[in-house]
Amino acid sequence: MTSSREFYRNGPAVRQGQPVSFVEVRKRFDFRSIGIGRWVSQPEQVRAAGLFYDALVDLMTILNCPEPLISLRGTLSLQYGIGGRPGVAAHYQPSMRCFSLAKNAGPGSIAHEWFHALDHYLGGTAFDDAPAGMFASKAWLSDATPVVHPLNDDLYACFRSIMLDADGESPSQLFEISAQIDRAMNQVYYSQTEELCARAFEAFIQDAVITNNFLVSGTKASAEAEQGLYPKGEQRERINQAFRHYFNRLGAALNSEIYRNAR
C-alpha cells in the first residue's frame, strides 16, 4: 500500500517506489501525445507522472484489460496543467481526442474523463450510421444502427443499465434525479447521456477492490452523491455487473489479439 500527502492508494506496487517520467507514461500506454503546462515545475512533473502511472495501471487492472485500451489504440492524448478552463478541474476535448487535468484541481477525475474518451471512441466503431464525433451512449439512445458484435451487445447492456430502470422500459432513477437537478438549475448537463455514463463508470471504478483517489473519488461521499447524481443501491449493482462483464470480455479479446500479433 502506498500513499502521499494528498492522495490515498491501496493497490499492488507497480513502480516499487521508483520515480517515473511522463515519457515513461507515454511509452507504456502509447498515448498519442502528453502535454505539460509551462507552470508545472520539474518536481511537480515527477510527482504527477508517478501518480498518473499508478492510476492508469490501477485502471487497467480494474478493467482487466491491456495497455492499448488505456490509450484507445494510441489515439488518445493527455494534458496536465495546460488548457484549463475557469472552474473546471478536468475535461475531455472531442475535437482533439484529449483529456486534460488541471494542475491543482483535476485529481480524482481521471476515470470520468477517460470514460468520456472511450465513449467518444466507441461512437465511431459500435454504430453504422452515428454522426461523426457522436458519443456511443448518445448514439444508443438515438437508436443509431448498431454494428452487430457480441462485445457491442455487452456495451449496449451497460447503457441500458444506466439509462433505464430494471424493467428496461422506464427512465432510471439516476436519469430522473439528474434531469430534476438540471431543471432546477435551468441547464442540460447532468442528464446528458455521456455525463450519466461517465458518472456511472466512476462509481464502478470506485467500488473496485483497488482504491486510488487520484483516479476516482466522490461517488460515495460528496455533495453530488448525496443529491443522487451517482447510481445507488440495486441500480449501482446492475451497472457494476454490466460494466464488469463488458470489460472482462473486451480484455480477453484484446489480450488474444496481442497474443496473435506477437506470434
188-220 confidence digits (pLDDT tens):
999 999 999 999 999 999 999 999 999 999 999
Q: Is the pLDDT of residue 120 over 80?
A: yes
Q: What is the pLDDT of residue 194?
A: 98
Q: How many angstroms separate the CA atoms of 120 and 115, rounded?
A: 8
Domains of the chain and CATH, by start:
10-262 (3.40.390)
- Tens of pLDDT, residues 20-42: 999 999 999 999 999 999 989 99
- Of 119, 24, 38, give the one whose Cα is nearest residue 76: 119
Sign of torsion over alpha carbons 255, 257, 261, 263: positive
Does residue 89 have a pLDDT over 80?
no
Q: Is the dihedral of CA 83, 86, 91, 97 positive or negative?
A: negative
Closest CA to 143 of 130, 159, 152, 157: 130
Neighbouring CB atoms inside 10 A of 248's CB total: 14
Query: Do β-strands 8-10 and 211-212 pair in parallel, antiparallel, or remain unpaired?
Result: antiparallel
Helix (H, G, I), strand (E, B) or coil at 23: helix
Determine the average pLDDT of the residues in 89-93.
86
Quickly tell me which residue has 448498431 as its cell: 146
Asked whether 32 and 75 are in contact (CB, 8 A), the reply is: yes
> How close are the terminal C-alpha atoms of the chain, in Å?
36
Choose the most confident range, by mean pLDDT, from 5-14, 70-79, 97-106. Answer: 70-79
Closest CA to 44 of 95, 90, 96, 101: 101
By the 8 A CB rule, do 109 and 65 touch? no
